Structure 1
Amino acid sequence: MDLDQFSKEAVEKRKSMASDPPRPQYHFQSPSNWVNDAHPIYWNGEYHMFYLYNPYGVTHGIVHWAHAVSEDLVHWRDLPIAMSPDTAHDNEGVRSGNVFIDDDGIPTAIYTGTGLAMGPGWRGRKRQAIRQYGLMAKSTDGMVTWKKHSKPIMGAPPYPGTRTHHDAQIWKDDDTWYQLVGGSYRGNGAALLHSSQNLEDWKYVGRIFTGENGDYGDHWELPYLLPFGSKHVMIIGIGVVPYFVGTYDSATHTFTPEYEGILDYGIEFYAPNPHMTDDKGVNGSERRLMVGWICEPNESPAPSNGWNGMFSIPRVVTLLPDNTLGFEPVPELKSLRKNHREFHNVSISETPNAN
């Protein structure tokens, strides 16, 4: 694979889009077409941005994992598509998940695949249906190419009352790996926990947090459980994204909310991913970063111009003393600042075609 040639082609495609007035200048987005759901990771001094991408059009379709890399969270270089829907378990889309480093130091992705499978139909007949699978892949060449595990690591939910599961968050506690996925339980959204000793064989632990009376929808996506000192924060994906501050009991694997807030009041902000940490905090401390998907409103001209969607500027996430989440744009963005100018007492008239 000629990485230099791929990068040149991506640069040319970006140049051809640059004259489009609505296209953002400093928010990261793909060279063209549809994007959603970022899966970033910091590794070996570089920031890798994996994200869902439809190479065939400007609407959500059979998505792939696209890939870009940066040294400063500001300037990004496109890399080849990391994973394509090329197996029976992801031929309808390589969907959301996360990347982490396994016990052997190997970059590992656990993600949701959607694939066509034969399932029960009307009067016992078989019919094709799209099913979700928990899948795994590993990379040994700096996360450029990925080798998929030969079979799913998780299939259909094995527990009564629960349907679907996807969008894995992965972490390790002592000798045990944990995987948190979104789903539903008896008409309410739920965050479902699984555990494993080897990343291949997973067992269901339980629901660590479940909605009540349909207050937070009947299905959750993209759940994240984040430690902040003695507290934990739970983020769930439903519409305007809420978060909950509370306590997590690692013995019973239950989360008890104490405070509630809204992550972002913009309805176009969705799929926030706070999984990535680096060592660029105060005195080299850990810094938690979050990137979200900014989808285009229905009236946007972007799709007709060859692109659809972008990603929020990276934010530093902290828990404030009043138990609300604090957000700051990463200071690296200051490198984009130019000469400052001030204007006072200026009247601006309406200009129909201002760009």
Structure 2
Amino acid sequence: MMIEQTEALDRANRYIEQNRHRVNPKYRDQYHLMAPVGWINDPNGAVYYHGAYHLFYQYYPYASNWGPMHWGHARSKDLVHWEDLPVALAPDQAYDRDGCFSGSAIVHHDRLYLLYTGHVVENGQTFQTQCLAVSDDGIHFVKSRHNPVIAGELLGDHGSIHDFRDPKVFAHDGSFYAVAATKTTDNRGRILLFKSVDLQHWDFFSTLLTGTAEQGIMWECPDFFHLDGYDVLLMSPIQIPRQGLAFRNVSSTMACIGQMDWTTGELTVQTTQEIDYGLDFYAPQTLVDEQGRRIMIAWMQMWNRTMPTHELDHGWAGAMTLPRELRVKEGRLIQKPVSLVYGQLEYLSGSENIDVSTRPVVFRNLVGDNTYMQIVCDLAEAASFTIQFAKTGQQALTLRYVTQTEEFHLSRAGFGYPITGDERQPLNSRAVRVPLVNDQLILEIFRDTSAIEVFINGQETMTATFYEIEKGHDIVFSAEGHAKIGSFETGRVRV
């Protein structure tokens, strides 16, 4: 038995249609998924269904700041061009009246099921349980009369009902499983595993993994899958302490890679890593498409930071990253731009054998709002190599590689509207260690109106948002010592 949704859903969809054309488009991205109006955060329900990619997301349509969470919804054939669909879930029941929090999707018997967190606040305390909704067309959803399907009696003393959220559902060996995030009584992250035969009735299966005091006070948005002979747990730790260059943001993302024992339900972790070393990447979720590709997408923003589009009253805030294909190589998670994006690239120009030294090499008017660049540079005789991207006057996004430390740096300091956060010191630049490949630095750069994603030597990624006050269109190369750019190709993503 299911419950038809109420006026709250109709009200949200009416509001969107009446207000979507009032947003200020100045900083809106062109090929990254965004909500039509209002606030967007975690990606939810990433799934391939009826010949299209569907992505749901945490959504508050009524303002450009966080509010009672709905589930926004979009679909795409190519993961570049997105079609807005009606809001899928609104907080309208006793068990989710203060928010339909994050969750996931799965296809079963040609129906699309959503497993999400019902969020309730009573006397200043939160209570979180896991709830189910289902659709026959992938657009209109009804909520289960069995909700919540995973509640306090199943949680027991394995975690806190006040922090119990973000279920990610998957099938394994003829059964359904869901990982969910919670925490211990002494504020350590914990991931639980539940099992079901029909998605309606669930049992506690195991504690998949419990964190240490050095791994954050809470783990959010878990995802769990098998890839290339490894079992991979993705999650987002809150307040994980810095570890060298890693985990500099106040909230981070982490991959735990190892082997799962399905008898005990425990994951033995062999390696851990931060997933993205930029400034704006959180709550990644994956799907598998019809070709078997494991594709990840994340919220391209960060908690507890100022958001210029909200401060400027533009009527929207937040976007999703470019989808990325995942592999595991030698115990490390490797990301590359989703292959479908290359079919949407338009080639613009190319140059070869560019000598770069302390005297800058300037290319005018190559940077646009939907620019793609690939740069291959030999640094055998260079101490450092610097790119000033979208340069205008004294402002630019700065990308820099230092050969002695093998560190790649990205900085938006002094570029556009200032962005501040809860970090102890203002954080507008980060670095990641990436060895050269036969003395070469190989970069792929995807720029959208207010975002940049950099793929470095096929090993690491850095993602950041920015909000230009004055548009910059130039790119400037310089080096300490002598660098040679073997190839420099530019293009744009068709929108």
Q: TM-score range by the shorter chain?
A: 0.7 to 0.9
Q: Distance in 1 between matches of 2:107 and 2:234?
A: 22
Structure with the greater alpha carbon radius of gyration: 2
Give per-residue Cα distances to partners, 1:90-136, cap 9 Å, x unaligned. Answer: 1101111101012x32111111011245xxxxxxxxx4643111100
- CA deviation after TM superposition for structure 1 residue 7, in Å: 10
When normalised by structure 2's length, the TM-score is: 0.62
Q: Could you tell me which residue of structure 2 aligns to residue 180 of structure 1?
A: 179
Task: List gaps (5 residues or longer) in structure 2.
Answer: 1-11, 238-250, 352-360, 365-390, 396-468, 472-495
Matched, 1:267 2:264: no
Matched, 1:58 2:64: yes
Q: Could you tell me which residue of structure 2 aligns to residue 196 of structure 1?
A: 196
When normalised by structure 1's length, the TM-score is: 0.85
Q: Could you tell me which residue of structure 2 aligns to residue 350 of structure 1?
A: 393
Counterpart selection for 1:82 from 43, 64, 88:
88
Q: Distance in 2 between matches of 1:14 and 1:335?
A: 29
Q: Measured at CA, do residues 189 and 174 of structure 1 come closer, stay the same or move farther in structure 2, by a change above 3 Å?
A: same
- CA deviation after TM superposition for structure 1 residue 354, in Å: 2.3
Q: Say if 2:158 and 2:207, in contact at 8 Å, map to a contact too.
A: no
Task: Judging by fraction of residues, say which structure has more strand.
Answer: 2
- CA deviation after TM superposition for structure 1 residue 318, in Å: 0.8
Matched, 1:330 2:338: yes
Q: Measured at CA, do residues 337 and 132 of structure 1 come closer, stay the same or move farther in structure 2, by a change above 3 Å?
A: same
- CA deviation after TM superposition for structure 1 residue 11, in Å: 8.7
Q: Measured at CA, do residues 224 and 349 of structure 1 come closer, stay the same or move farther in structure 2, by a change above 3 Å?
A: closer
Counterpart selection for 1:71 from 69, 77, 85:
77
Counterpart selection for 2:309 from 292, 302, 311:
302
Q: Could you tell me which residue of structure 2 aligns to residue 244 of structure 1?
A: 256
Give per-residue Cα distances to partners, 1:46-80, cap 9 Å, x unaligned. Answer: 01111111011111110111111111111111111
Matched, 1:115 2:97: no
Q: Say if 2:42 and 2:283, in contact at 8 Å, map to a contact too.
A: yes
Task: List gaps (5 residues or longer) in structure 1.
Answer: 1-5, 118-126, 281-285
Deviates more, 1:329-338 or 1:52-61: 329-338
Q: Measured at CA, do residues 249 and 168 of structure 1 come closer, stay the same or move farther in structure 2, by a change above 3 Å?
A: same
Identity of aligned residues (%): 27
2:164 aligns to what SS in structure 1? strand
Q: Distance in 2 between matches of 1:9 and 1:154?
A: 32
Matched, 1:227 2:218: no
Q: Distance in 2 between matches of 1:340 and 1:268?
A: 28
Give per-residue Cα distances to partners, 1:297-351, cap 9 Å, x unaligned. Answer: 734321121111100000001112x221111111222344334135864587617
Counterpart selection for 1:155 from 127, 132, 151:
151
Q: Measured at CA, do residues 299 and 98 of structure 1 come closer, stay the same or move farther in structure 2, by a change above 3 Å?
A: closer
Q: Measured at CA, do residues 279 and 330 of structure 1 come closer, stay the same or move farther in structure 2, by a change above 3 Å?
A: same
1:341 aligns to what SS in structure 2? strand
- CA deviation after TM superposition for structure 1 residue 23, in Å: 2.2
Q: Could you tell me which residue of structure 2 aligns to residue 130 of structure 1?
A: 126
- CA deviation after TM superposition for structure 1 residue 176, in Å: 2.2
Q: Distance in 2 between matches of 1:218 and 1:98?
A: 23
Q: Say if 1:7 and 1:77, in contact at 8 Å, map to a contact too.
A: no
- CA deviation after TM superposition for structure 1 residue 15, in Å: 5.8
Aligned length: 330
Q: Say if 1:7 and 1:79, in contact at 8 Å, map to a contact too.
A: no
Q: Distance in 1 between matches of 2:32 and 2:172?
A: 34
1:48 aligns to what SS in structure 2? strand
Q: Say if 1:7 and 1:78, in contact at 8 Å, map to a contact too.
A: no
The one-letter code of the counterpart of 2:346 is K
Q: Measured at CA, do residues 178 and 350 of structure 1 come closer, stay the same or move farther in structure 2, by a change above 3 Å?
A: same
